[in-house]
Amino acid sequence: MKNNYKNYSTIATFIIFLLLWEFISKSGFFNINLFPPPTKVFRAFLESLLTGEFFNDVSISLIRAIFGFAIGSMIGICLGILTGRITIFRLTIGQIAHFLRNIPSIAFVPLVIVWFGIGETSKILLVMWGVIFPVWISTHQGVINIDKHHIWAIKSLGANRLQTLKEVIFYGSIPFIVSGMRIGIAISFITLVAAEMAGAFSGVGYRILTSHLIFRVDKMILGIATLGLMGLVADRCYIIAVKNLFPWVQLR
């Protein structure tokens, strides 16, 4: 009953929002070409569906985001375990990573395009770069917060290093890792859009930019709304996956 109430309230909120948007857009207070109503944005959506443009852009952007996110997450987890467990890595690679994480990923867009061109490699690398650091620092915090008594206990039972790493350090850090990866999902879309706007011939970010050049505000808003929906769906799917794989981790 409680879940149904939450679902109904969410749907009602969106309906009210769309109705207000429609009313304000058509009230005459704003230029309708600069602030199109949702009905006009929906027509732009149907137009994109008929041409095949919509699904093509969404699928290409999703592939780039998924590959970049997966690679960046794996590197971030490995790096976090190393810097959290081994002092020499924390004092060397960890300090370099702390410096690099303060540089916005978007700042690397021109450089990566110069080095790797405007192909798929540059987009995936930029997404990967943006994801690495939140996953790394979350994993690092999870590892250093492991209770040493747990490590001593499993070693006293005869566990080797690999078993200790898996059963205590990795599983004990899971709540931190999944939180970092959840942040990484949002960052992956931010970085991807910046890369697609700077140099691409397809993707949602590229479509927003080209719509701006031809003054199609309705298509711009459609692209922005699509990004929001993609991020929301990715986040919900991630939560479902985490609940199935690690049921003891609480995500909302």
CATH number, residue 44: 1.10.3720.10
**3-state secondary structure at position 181:** helix
Same domain? 10 vs 60: no
CA distance 205 to 127: 13
Q: Is 252 among the domain residues?
A: no
- From the CB of residue 89, how many other CB atoms can be counted at a distance below 10 Å? 16
Q: What is the pLDDT of residue 5?
A: 60
Quick: pLDDT tens for 185-242: 999 998 888 888 877 788 888 899 888 888 889 899 999 999 999 999 999 999 999 8
User: Could you tell me if residue 50 is inside a domain?
Assistant: yes
Residue 74 lies in a domain: yes
Torsion of CA 158, 162, 166, 168, to 10 degrees: 40
**3-class state of residue 214 by DSSP:** coil
Q: Are residues 27 and 56 located together in one domain of the fold?
A: no
- Tens-place pLDDT, residues 116-150: 887 888 889 999 999 999 999 999 998 888 777 77
Query: 26 with 110, same domain?
Result: no
250 assigned to some structural domain: no
pLDDT > 80? residue 158: no
Residues 57 and 179 in one domain: yes
**How many distinct structural domains can be found in the chain?**
2
Distance of CA 134 to the CA centre of its chain: 11
If asked whether residues 52 and 169 sit together in one domain, one would say: yes
Question: Distance between CA atoms of 197 and 162, rounded to whole angstroms?
Answer: 44
Question: Residue 103 domain-assigned?
Answer: yes
**Structure tokens given for 69:** 């996110």
Token pair for residue 4? 């149904």
Q: Does residue 57 share a domain with residue 11?
A: no
Q: What is the pLDDT of residues 165-195, one digit of tens each?
A: 777 778 788 889 999 999 999 999 988 888 8
Q: For a pLDDT cut of 90, what percent of the chain falls above it?
A: 33
Entry pTM = 0.85
SS3 content of the chain, % helix, strand, coil (to 5): 85, 0, 15
User: If you ran DSSP here, which 8-state letter would residue 166 be given?
Assistant: I
State which residues form the domain around 1: 1-32
For the stretch 112-124, pLDDT in tens is 888 888 788 888 9
**Is residue 26 domain-shared with residue 48, that is, in the same domain?**
no
Q: Would you tell me how many other CB atoms lie within 10 Å of the CB of residue 208?
A: 22
| Residue 2 confidence class, pLDDT cut points 50, 70, 90 | low
CA distance 36 to 32: 5
Q: Are residues 4 and 127 in the same domain?
A: no
Q: Do 82 and 121 lie in a common domain?
A: yes
pLDDT (0 to 100) of residue 1: 54
Q: What is the CA radius of gyration of the chain?
A: 22
